[in-house]
Chains A and B, each alone.
Chain A
Amino acid sequence: MKPRVGFFDFASCEGCQLTVLNLENELLDLVELMEIVEFREISSAHGEELDIAFVEGSICRPEDVKRLRAIRARSRQLIALGACADTAGINALTSDRPVAELVREVYGDKGEAFLVAGRPRPLEAFVPVDGRVPGCPIDGGEFLTVLQALLIGRTPELPTFAVCAECKLRELPCTFERDVICLGPITRAGCNAHCIAEGDRCRGCRGMVDAPRSGPYYRILEEYGLSEEQIRDELRLYNLGGEAKK
C-alpha cells in the first residue's frame, strides 16, 4: 500500500505547495512513491483517510479551526508546511493591532457587517503537529528530506544549529562586514544560507534555533547602532514571539 498523502492550505500565498510542484526533476518519482489523494491547487479529487497531511497557511477564523480539526482527525501524521503554518509567518505582522481596526482600514465600515476575520495563528495552537518544514517559502530539498524520513517511518528532525554555520561552510562573507544586519546568528539552519548567497541577508523566515544566544547577539546589534525599536523591527517580520505565535 502506497502512503496516502494530502496537501491543504489556509491563510497563505500557496507558494510552499508551488515549491513542491517546482520539484520538476523529482515529481514523477514522488508520484510513484505515494498516492496524492488530495491537492486542491492541482486536483479536484478527494480522499478520506490519510497517512500524511501537509498543511500550509495560518489559522484565522472559527471555520478554519473546524476544517483543520477535520483534517487532523483523518490523518495519521500532520506536517506544518512553511512559515505561515509553523509560526504564523508574515501573517503575524498585523497581530499587534485589533482585528476590527484592520477590517475597517481595508474594507471600510461596511466590511465589518459580514467579514469574519481573526488573528492568524500557527497550526499547533489548535492541533498536535507531527513535523514541520519551516521557511518562507519552504526549501524544496528540505521538503524531500522530511518526506523521506516520514516514508521510512522516522521522525523528521530539523538542524539544531544556526544559519551562520551553513553560511560559513559556504565561505560567504559575513553581511555585518558590509554593515548589513543579518538574523543568521539566531535563525535555524536548513536553507543552506540561501538568501545570503543570493546577495541578500537573513530575515529569519525559518524561526529561531532552540535557545538562541540572543543576549550577546543583541549587544552586537547595539554596537552596530540599532535602537531597541529597530531590533524589534528586524525580529517582527517572522519572529515576533510571544502573543502572536501562541
Chain B
Amino acid sequence: MKIAVNHLARIEGHANLVIDSVRGTVRELRLEIVEAPRFFEPMLTGRHYSDVAHIAARICGICSNSHTLVSLQATEQALGIEVSEQTQSLRRLLAFGEILQSHLVQLFFMALPDYYGEASILPLVHTERALVQHALELKKLANDILRVVGGRPVHPVTPVVGGFARLPEAADLQELRRRLVRVLPDLEASVEIFGSLDYPDFERDTDCFSLRGGDDYPLFGRQLVSSGGVDCAVEDYRDVLEEYLVPWSTAKFARLQGRCFMVGPLARLRNNFDLLSPMARQVAEALGLTPDTANPYRILAARLVEVVHGVERAIHLIDELLLAGLQAEEPLPPQRHGRAVAVIEAPRGLLFHSYSYDAQGRIEQADCLIPTAQNLANIEADLRARVPELLETGREELTRQCEQLIRAYDPCISCSTHLLTIDFA
C-alpha cells in the first residue's frame, strides 16, 4: 500500500507524508519538507543590529514574537547591553501572549477538526457555534496582549535592542488583567473539550529536551536539560545537538547525543512539572498528564495546560508591572562586540539564535536552530512505531491518525526551512 499526502493541511508550512508498506511491513516512511528554502542566516549576515530582530521575526508569522525576543537577547548579550527588570517583565508577558495565541490556534483551528471529523473549524461555526465563539474570544485576548505590549500580533514593532520603543498604557494592562481573570472560568470549558477527546492509544518514550527553570516554569534560561541526562549550559548547545541533512527535506533534522528527541509543550511539562502554576497543575492532573506521559497525541493536553499556566502567569506579571509603575527608559548603546547564544522556549520548543557581531555592530555570522527542525526526526520515529499498529485499519484511518500525530507536534515549517514534506510513496 502506498500512501502520499501532499501539502499536509492544518500545519504551518509545507510538508508531505510518504508511506510505502508491503504485506504489513513498512518499507519506506518519510516526512518530506517541501517548503522553499529562504536562507535566513545569509539574510542576516552584514545587517546592522538595529535591523536584526526585524528580519529574524519574518522567519515565522506564527511565532514572530519568539524570534524577536530571542534575537534581541542574542544581540544584547553579544553587544554587552543590559536590560532593565521592567523590560524583562514586559518581554515575558509578550512571550506568554504568543504562547497563548499560538497554542490556541493549534488546539482549536488545527487539531480539533480531526476529532470532530471535519476538514476545518469552519463547518463548526454552524454546528458548534458556542465552541467557536469561545475559541475566538480566547484567541482575541491572546492577540490583544500582543497588541498592547508588542504593537501588533504578527511581527511586533515595540520590542527593540535595549528595551521598548513604546511602553503599554497602564489602563490597557489593567483591562487585559480584568479579561484574563474573567477568562479563567471559561477555560474549564476547554479543559472539558480536550479532556474528553478520544486520544489514540499509543506510547513511545523519547528524550525530552527543554530549558530547566530556576524557580519558574521556563521561558528564557541558561540551562538545558533532558530526561535522558543532558545537563549543559545554553552556550554549549552545539556540543549536544547536531543538525544533519536528509535528502527528502529542505529542513535540517537534528539529533541530541546522537538520538532523536522531543521539544515543546510535553517535553517542557515533563521536565518542569513541579514548576507549573497552581491551576495549571490541577488541569494537568485532570487531563491525566504526569512527568512520565509518553503518548505524543497527548501533546494537545500539555498545550492546554500551558495555556492555563500562561493566563495565570500573565495576571501576576501585569500585577508586578503595575505595582512597580511603568518607567520610560533610554536603551543603552553597545558596550562591546562579540559572539552570543540565546534561547527561548517558543510555543513549539527550544529556539536558539546565535550571532557574532563585528566592531561596526553588523552581523558576521548567524545561526538559528528551530524547534520544529529538532522535532522532525522524532515525528518520523513516532510514525515508524505507529504505522505498523495501524496497517490493518485501512488507508483512510491510517492516514487520519498519522496526520493527527503530526499535527499534535504543531510543526512550523516556514520556520524550520533552513527548514519540511510528507508523501505516502
Which bucket holds chain A's interface residue count?
35 or more
**B139 on the interface (CB 8 Å rule)?**
yes
Within the complex, the shortest CB–CB distance from B243 to chain A, in Å, comes to 10
Q: Please tell me if B177 contacts chain A, counting CB pairs below 8 Å.
A: no
CB contact list, B2-61 vs A, under 8 A: 7, 9-13, 34-39, 41-43, 48, 51, 54-55, 58-61
Given contact pairs A11-B36, A39-B120, A115-B37, A21 touches B109 in the complex (Cβ within 8 A) = yes
A152–chain B nearest beta-carbon distance, Å = 23
Q: Which residues of A contact B122 (CB under 8 A)?
A: 31, 36, 42-43
> Chain B residues near A90 (CB, 8 Å)?
43, 55, 58
Note all chain A residues with C-beta closer than 8 A to B245: 107-108, 110-111
- Decide if A117 touches B36 in the complex (CB within 8 Å): yes
Chain A CB within 10 Å, residue with most, of B35, B37, B122, B133: B37
- Check: B373 CB closer than 8 A to any chain A CB: no
A-B contact count (CB 8 A): 170
Q: Confirm or deny: A14 has a beta carbon within 8 angstroms of a beta carbon on chain B.
A: yes
CA distance A41 to B102 in the complex (A): 13
Q: Which of B82-90, B150-158, B316-324, B343-351 contacts A (4 or more CB under 8 A)?
A: B150-158
Chain A residue with the shortest CB-CB distance to B138 = A24
Stretch at the interface among B160-168, B266-274, B302-310: B160-168
> Are B10 and A43 closer than 8 Å at their CB atoms?
yes
Q: Which residues of B contact A21 (CB under 8 A)?
A: 105, 109
Interface of B is mostly: loop
Asked if residues B136 and A106 are in contact (CB atoms below 8 Å), the reply is: no
The answer to whether A41 touches B154 (Cβ under 8 A) is no
Nearest Cβ distance between residue B129 and chain A, in whole angstroms? 8
Interface residue stretch chosen among A157-165, A197-205, A209-217? A197-205
Interface centre among B105, B119, B132, B154 (most CB of A within 10 A): B154
Instruction: Report B425 CB to chain A, min CB distance, Å.
Output: 16
Interface flag for B75 (CB, 8 Å): no
A136 touches B155 (CB 8 A): yes
Task: Decide: B42 and A105 in contact? CB cutoff 8 A.
Answer: yes
B39 touches A44 (CB 8 A): no
Contact with A along B60-88 (1 / 0, CB 8 A): 11101000000000000000000000000
Taking the closest CB of chain A, its distance from the CB of B51, in whole angstroms, is 7
User: Which chain B residues border A22 with CB–CB below 8 Å?
Assistant: 139, 143, 153-154
The reply to whether B250 and A18 contact each other, CB–CB distance below 8 Å, is no
Question: Contact: A44 with B62, CB < 8 Å?
Answer: no
A198-B37 CB under 8 A given contacts A13-B64, A14-B12: no
Chain B residues with CB below 8 A from A113, complex form = 247
Asked if residues B139 and A24 are in contact (CB atoms below 8 Å), the reply is yes
Complex-state Cα separation, A16 to B154, whole angstroms:
8
CA distance A187 to B153 in the complex (A): 22
Q: Given contacts A36-B122, A198-B158, are A41 and B12 in contact (CB under 8 A)? A: yes
Query: Which residues does B use to contact A, with CB under 8 Å?
Result: 7, 9-13, 34-39, 41-43, 48, 51, 54-55, 58-62, 64, 105, 109-110, 113, 119-122, 125, 132-133, 136-137, 139-140, 143, 151-155, 157-158, 160, 164-166, 245, 247, 250, 252, 403, 414-415, 418
Q: What 4 A-B pairs come out closest when comparing CB atoms? A: A15-B61, A199-B165, A43-B120, A199-B166
